[in-house]
Chains A and B, each alone.
Chain A
Amino acid sequence: MAAHATDENLQQGEIAKPNTAWIWKTFFVLVGITAVEFVFVFLMEPSTLRNSIFIILTIMKAFFIVAEFMHLKHETKGLIWTILVPMSLLVWLLVALITEGSYVGEVLQNMFK
């Protein structure tokens, strides 16, 4: 694991120096992305484009949380794929059911026309 404090020159019972710069860096990235999201909420009219921007920014935030905070970036390739491949099913589920929802709505709203 890359971010470990591994100081081999330590005496027995001595505690290594904290290595926290990468943690705060990730924190400021997450805060920054959230701030950008708020800029879009207030400065842009709702549209498919705006929603796409939100989803992209959310996936960016998710990447930083999973890769850095949950340390997945530094695990073996096998574990990374084990987690990511089942997730791709969810993308399909989301796209399929949202399309289905629009269709159901259309049918219901035009039923008595």
Chain B
Amino acid sequence: MSQPTTLQPPAASATQDAPRTGTWDGGNEPFKASYGKLMMWFFLLSDAFTFAAFLTTYGLIRHKHEVFVGKAEEFVFSTRWWPVPDRVFNAFPGLHGMDVPLGFVALMTMILILSSVTMVLAVEAGHRMDKNDVQKWLLWTILFGTTFLLSQAWEWSHFIHGSEKGMLMADGTTFFGANLAANEYGPVLFADLFFFITGFHGTHVLSGVCLLVWCFIATSNGTFHKRGHYEMIEKIGLYWHFVDLVWVFVFTFFYLV
């Protein structure tokens, strides 16, 4: 029997009630991945382009500016050159006035990697249909995600309020901290890019936490158990790992390089 090539329903015949199994009759999974997972991958691909555009912009603008040449001890903040990241991000909550270069951002990185691990553990528990374990690991992921968001809030607050020294401006006043029009660390665009890139990433983490909270409620209600699979956890998991992945790149290009 030849397969119908149009979308017209087949004429009434003896085979009408038999399942249609042709290539275009539905039920096929390209790449052996479900529709939802495949669409999540394509969304993440497009999101990767957005983040890559941000980071490429950062690269272009940074290379456009002068580089500080000289000894690391002699470095001072100036609008002439791009700041050295471990001199900007050297504060740690509770350790006021101490120089902890990149200490806090290292902690934030650890928290986010840990949250990724607990997310995989939730997905793994879902494969085993272990509702209690899924709940447990989702809660841990929500906890780490929220901790990361709060850490970023502290980081932003510190960046905006600035150091005690501030920067002496041309008109003789001292400017503290940063906003979109001026900052004490270096060129205006440095703070702008900081706000846009880490802000865009933070918004992703926030949406991720909201999705995880929803997942936790649905798991507790037994929605996925009744459905017979925990694929939703896998899809949200893909998104969550992507957010971690983006942070790995932000961390390198903003804080290390």
Contacts and interface: CB of A to CB of B under 8 A. Distances in A.
B31 A94 contact: no
B31 A5 contact: no
Contacts of A87: 45, 48
17 contacts: A16-B130, A27-B117, A37-B256, A58-B248, A66-B245, A69-B119, A70-B237, A70-B241, A79-B31, A82-B31, A86-B49, A87-B45, A90-B49, A90-B52, A94-B52, A102-B63, A109-B66
Interface centre among B32, B41, B106, B120 (most CB of A within 10 A): B120
Interface residues of A, number: 53
Interface size class of B (residues with CB under 8 A): 35 or more
Contacts of A24: 117
Contacts, number: 138
Nearest to B129: A15
Contacts of A65: 116, 241, 244-245, 248
A70 B243 CA distance: 11
A69 to B, nearest CB: 5
B117 A23 contact: yes
B124 A20 contact: yes
B60 interface: yes
B125 A27 contact: no
Contacts of A70: 237-238, 241-242, 245
A5 B128 contact: yes
A101 B64 CA distance: 5
B33 interface: yes
Nearest to B106: A38
Interface in A18-57: 18-20, 23-24, 26-27, 30-31, 34, 37-38, 41-42, 45-46, 51, 54-55, 57
B256 A19 contact: no
A111 interface: no
B127 interface: yes
Contacts of A45: 72
Given A41-B86, A75-B32, A105-B66, A94 B56 contact: yes
Nearest to A69: B241
B127 A4 contact: yes
B236 to A, nearest CB: 12
B256 A23 contact: no
Given A65-B245, A75-B33, A78-B31, A94 B59 contact: yes
Interface string B228-241: 00000000011001
Contacts of B182: none
A1 to B, nearest CB: 8
A105 B124 contact: no
Contact of A104 (B32, B45, B64, B84): B64
